[in-house]
């Protein structure tokens, strides 16, 4: 993580909504521990994992849209090598999401 | 969730290891809240989301293998409609994992 | 690919249906070449890629179910190291599908 | 497909390279038909499906980067409702890729 990444970036338009979604996902992680501890039926556990994964990807896609809208849009306005770098960085992050 | 699913199924060979992995995933969910709250750089947040998704899918794949090894293998030994139903149910769960 | 893999395995219950689906997927690959050659709108191309990916995964899930039903079920009946190996091999293949 | 989508968009910087990749993917689709027809070992078929899916996603990610770089960057420069619409459209396409 470079120095650039150390300060607040101010790109998240509705921070409280994202925090609420992440708290719900944290709750799903705790719920899964309970299901595993009680050895609930495996298929029901897998269904919960799929729901949790979808919720997590949905948060990621929302943050990505904000990032494209603010950071990448700003860099594209200025153009040049900085714009290419931001775009490439965003595409790499999308590739990781697609493959994970 | 049917009545069948309400008792312990005893198919998880190393429950403590799965619980430990889920506690780490819960910790990742809390770490992401902190990153969002501090508006860390979006790409770093997305990298964490990808890591958390991979960890979650890895837990799912482990549980699925145990399920195939115990519940499905047992049903296949007996054969008939019960075996087909178990196999179809497992395939549906795999499809949800592939698509989530 | 081991010698074991060189002969016909006879596990596909409806081969003609799978061939038909794969020919349709091949047609989608040709359609995408036409769209790219004519520089159709990128989003429309991406929508076609998503449809083609889903069709391909659906074929994979069908074949996987047949494999579990025939090859893996057979190995599980016999039990022992062979059963463990088949199950592990299937789980690895599922993991590749989930991650691709 | 709107009228807007009917003409060439000129955003693909290296069309021949994409066409070559799509021809290779078409070849993979034909190879899979041969494997299914000869009932090759299921796991080997699934490995090929995973490779083909990855190749297809890689094409999609490349085209997406070009789209962001040209169409979306252009709209963002102009700003306003058009920029928001383009960004939202791109995010929807990314979501379909992530989920397919």
Write the DSSP string, chain A.
--GGGGS-----TTHHHHHHHHHHHHHHHHHHHHHHHTT--HHHHHHHHHHHHHHHHHHHHHHHHHHIIIIIHHHHHH-HHHHHHHHHHHHHHHHHHHH-
pLDDT score of A7 = 54
pLDDT score of D64 = 92
- B78 vs A15, residue with greater confidence: A15
- CB contact, 8 Å: A34 with chain B? no
Q: Please tell me the distance from the alpha carbon of residue C50 to that of residue B43, in angstroms, as a whole number.
A: 24
pLDDT score of C81 = 87
Q: Please tell me the distance from the alpha carbon of residue C53 to that of residue C30, in angstroms, as a whole number.
A: 14
Q: Is the pLDDT of residue A5 over 80?
A: no
pLDDT score of C12 = 82
Give every residue of chain C whose pLDDT is below 70, as ranges: 1-10
- Do the Cβ atoms of C11 and C70 come closer than 8 Å? yes
Q: Please tell me the distance from the alpha carbon of residue A43 to that of residue B88, in angstroms, as a whole number.
A: 11
- B94: phi then psi, degrees, rounded to nearest 5: -65, -45
**Mean pLDDT on D14-39:** 96
- CB contact, 8 Å: A80 with chain D? no
Q: Is the pLDDT of residue D8 over 70?
A: no
- A13: phi then psi, degrees, rounded to nearest 5: -75, -30
Q: Is the pLDDT of residue A4 over 90?
A: no
pTM of the full predicted structure? 0.85
Determine whether the interchain pair B73/C68 forms a contact, defined as Cβ–Cβ distance below 8 Å: no
End-to-end Cα distance, chain C: 21
Q: Is the pLDDT of residue A2 over 70?
A: no
Determine whether the interchain pair D29/C25 forms a contact, defined as Cβ–Cβ distance below 8 Å: yes
Return the H-helix or E-strand segment holding B95: helix B80-99
**Mean pLDDT on D11-29:** 93
Determine whether the interchain pair D90/C43 forms a contact, defined as Cβ–Cβ distance below 8 Å: yes
DSSP structure class, residue D72: I
DSSP structure class, residue D6: G
Min mean pLDDT across A37-41, B44-48, C56-60, D2-6 is at D2-6
Contacts of A77 in chain D (CB under 8 A): 76-77
Query: pLDDT digits over A55-87, tens only?
Result: 999 999 999 988 888 888 888 778 788 888 888
pLDDT score of A77 = 77
Give every residue of chain B whose pLDDT is below 50, as ranges: 1-4, 6
Residue spans of alpha helices (H) in chain D: 15-37, 42-67, 73-78, 80-99
Chains that touch B (3 or more CB pairs under 8 A): A, C, D
The percent of residues above 90 in pLDDT, for chain C, comes to 58
Contacts of C65 in chain B (CB under 8 A): 87-88, 91
- Do the Cβ atoms of D48 and D28 come closer than 8 Å? yes
Contacts of C67 in chain D (CB under 8 A): 42-43, 46
Burial of A85 (0-12, 13-18, 19+ CB in 10 A): exposed
Determine whether the interchain pair B44/A9 forms a contact, defined as Cβ–Cβ distance below 8 Å: no
C-alpha distance from C20 to closest chain A C-alpha (Å): 28
Q: Which residues contact B18 (CB under 8 A, 6 or more apart)?
A: A36, B12, B59, B62, B63
pLDDT score of D7 = 54
End-to-end Cα distance, chain B: 21
């Amino acid at each position: 993580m470079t120095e650039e990444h150390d300060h607040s970036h101010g790109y998240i338009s509705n921070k409280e909504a994202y925090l609420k979604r992440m708290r719900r996902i944290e709750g799903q992680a705790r719920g899964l521990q309970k299901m595993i501890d009680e050895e609930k039926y495996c298929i029901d556990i897998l269904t919960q994992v799929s729901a949790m994964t979808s919720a997590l990807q949905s948060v990621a896609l929302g943050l990505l849209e904000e990032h494209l809208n603010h950071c990448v849009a700003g860099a594209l306005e200025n153009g040049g090598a900085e714009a290419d770098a931001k775009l490439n960085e965003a595409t790499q992050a999308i590739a990781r999401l697609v493959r994970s």
